[in-house]
């Protein structure tokens, strides 16, 4: 699940990503080697399967830092559900999150798209409050840990955003979002979500 910035005005303020999509290709004369841009070819590790663990229904608990990068330590809690559906035979998936807490009701949608050339995923987020997709957060999985990055503004300041998916098991997974206002030297976590699979 792609989390949101921790204050409502910045839920969809994802600016252009600083992660470059490195295009790959094969030299001529090696027809036995599949082209990286071929969306049908499967490799030993198929990156298109990276999100397969999340397909299904989940119980979700969210902790959100109310005022990030201000020195505040005031968190608010939410509980609800997440449903993830596979699209394009796994080359995309659609997440729907709906949670409630003392700070109100959140309905979020995340469209995850796989790029077969860069072997990276883009996470494209929208809130029901605005109905607009934000600029994608881009990254990939390594050793069953996903890291995704983008750049945005918070209270007029340029910041970096890091989104991490970790502790992946058959029935649980963990998500964290963090902001940095010093070029990535230090990070402050502002969104934590823990999902537990349901039988639905």
35 pLDDT above the threshold of 60 = no
Domains, the chain, ranges and CATH? 8-19+47-197 (2.40.128.20)
pLDDT tens track for 71-113 = 999 999 999 999 999 999 999 999 999 999 999 999 999 999 9
> pLDDT over 90 for what percent of the chain?
70
36 pLDDT above the threshold of 90 = no
DSSP string, 153-168: EETTEEEEEEEEEE--
User: How would residue 46 be classed by pLDDT, with cut points 50, 70 and 90?
Assistant: confident
- Mean pLDDT, to the nearest integer, of 1-14? 41
> pLDDT over 70 for what percent of the chain?
77
Q: Measured between alpha carbons, how far is 161 from 117 in angstroms, rounded to an integer?
A: 24
User: How would residue 200 be classed by pLDDT, with cut points 50, 70 and 90?
Assistant: low
Q: Copy the structure tokens of residue 168.
A: 């992946």
User: How would residue 135 be classed by pLDDT, with cut points 50, 70 and 90?
Assistant: confident
Nearest to 60 by CA among 93, 82, 84: 82
- Mean pLDDT, to the nearest integer, of 37-50? 63
58 pLDDT above the threshold of 60 = yes
Mean pLDDT of the chain: 83
**pLDDT number for residue 177:** 96
49 CB-near residues (< 8 Å, 6+ apart): 90
pTM over 0.85: no
Q: CB–CB of 12/150 below 8 Å?
A: no
**pLDDT number for residue 157:** 93
- Mean pLDDT, to the nearest integer, of 40-46? 56
Nearest to 176 by CA among 158, 159, 160, 194: 194
- Mean pLDDT, to the nearest integer, of 53-76? 96
SS3 letters across 53-88: HHCEEEEEEEEEECCCCCCCCCEEEEEEEEEEEEEH
């Amino acid at each position: 699940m792609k989390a949101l910035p921790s204050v409502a005005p910045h839920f969809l303020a994802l600016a252009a990503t600083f992660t470059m999509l490195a295009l790959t290709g094969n030299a001529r004369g090696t027809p036995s080697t599949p082209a990286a841009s071929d969306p049908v070819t499967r490799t030993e590790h198929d990156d298109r399967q990276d999100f397969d663990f999340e397909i299904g229904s989940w119980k979700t608990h969210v902790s959100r830092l109310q005022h990030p990068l201000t020195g505040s330590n005031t968190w608010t809690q939410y509980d609800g559900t997440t449903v993830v559906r596979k699209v394009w035979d796994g080359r995309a998936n659609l997440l729907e999150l709906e949670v409630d807490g003392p700070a109100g009701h959140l309905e979020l949608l995340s469209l995850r798209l796989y790029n077969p050339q860069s072997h990276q995923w883009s996470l494209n987020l929208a809130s029901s409050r605005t109905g607009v997709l934000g600029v994608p957060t881009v990254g990939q999985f390594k050793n069953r840990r996903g890291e995704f990055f983008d750049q945005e503004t918070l209270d007029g300041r340029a910041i970096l955003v890091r989104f991490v998916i970790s502790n992946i098991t058959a029935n649980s997974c963990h998500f964290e979002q963090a902001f940095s206002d010093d070029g990535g030297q230090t990070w402050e976590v502002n969104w934590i979500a823990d999902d537990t699979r349901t039988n639905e």
